[in-house]
Chain A
């Protein structure tokens, strides 16, 4: 079936280093992708999105890369800070055939070491 998944369930990063969180998707018809951040005890918070007609999109300290050839999505966080410690989810929008629904991956926990 269609799925969105993450390769690394936990990522430990030294403060100041860059973080890379990966996400694989299997629905080639997906046309929109979102990254969310969820801190402990809180709801998911929008970070950045990208449409399927783009390969890269940058925000403040974050960059999302989309490789449609291998159905891979990544989130890069520059100069990781303690406040970046959270669980990160990718979500894909499956297109009209999938009812335009969002499917969420299982999440990657990022731990920032001081």
Chain B
């Protein structure tokens, strides 16, 4: 059972380039989330999807877009990368056993550097 899978694991971009971070979960969870983690700081919510077909902004949505492709997949897109977006990005999911924002299960992360 893979849980939450993120691709790629590492990425280096130049300022202004675009890319999409992929996330898939195999736990049949309804809710999915994207966070960023910067040194010395906790996880900050970028966007979330409470259920298939819905997405909402989190604490730090500027510069990002998301797509809930289906129940399994939730992607994060950087349209024009900036050095301030250098971070580690985590995708998470949570299921019906808890309400949205209950126990979340995390992927291994994508380490992104923007030069």
Report Cα–Cα, A45/B102, bound state, in Å: 13
Contact status B101-A101, CB under 8 Å: yes
Mask, B87-100, CB within 8 Å of A = 1, is: 00010100000011
- Count the B residues whose beta carbon is within 8 Å of the partner chain — how many? 22
Are A100's CB and B90's CB within 8 A?
Answer: no
Size of chain A's interface in residues, with CB distance under 8 A?
22
Alpha-carbon gap, A45 to B109, bound state (A): 12
User: 20 A-B Cβ contacts within 8 A?
Assistant: A4-B42, A34-B104, A41-B109, A42-B108, A42-B109, A43-B92, A43-B106, A43-B107, A43-B109, A44-B43, A46-B105, A49-B102, A89-B42, A91-B42, A93-B101, A93-B102, A100-B99, A101-B101, A106-B41, A106-B42
B residues engaging A (CB < 8 A)?
4, 40-45, 58-59, 90, 92, 99-109
Binary contact track A95-112/B, C-beta < 8 Å → 1, others 0: 000001111111100000
A93 to B99, CA, bound (A): 11
Chain A min CB distance to B32 (Å): 13
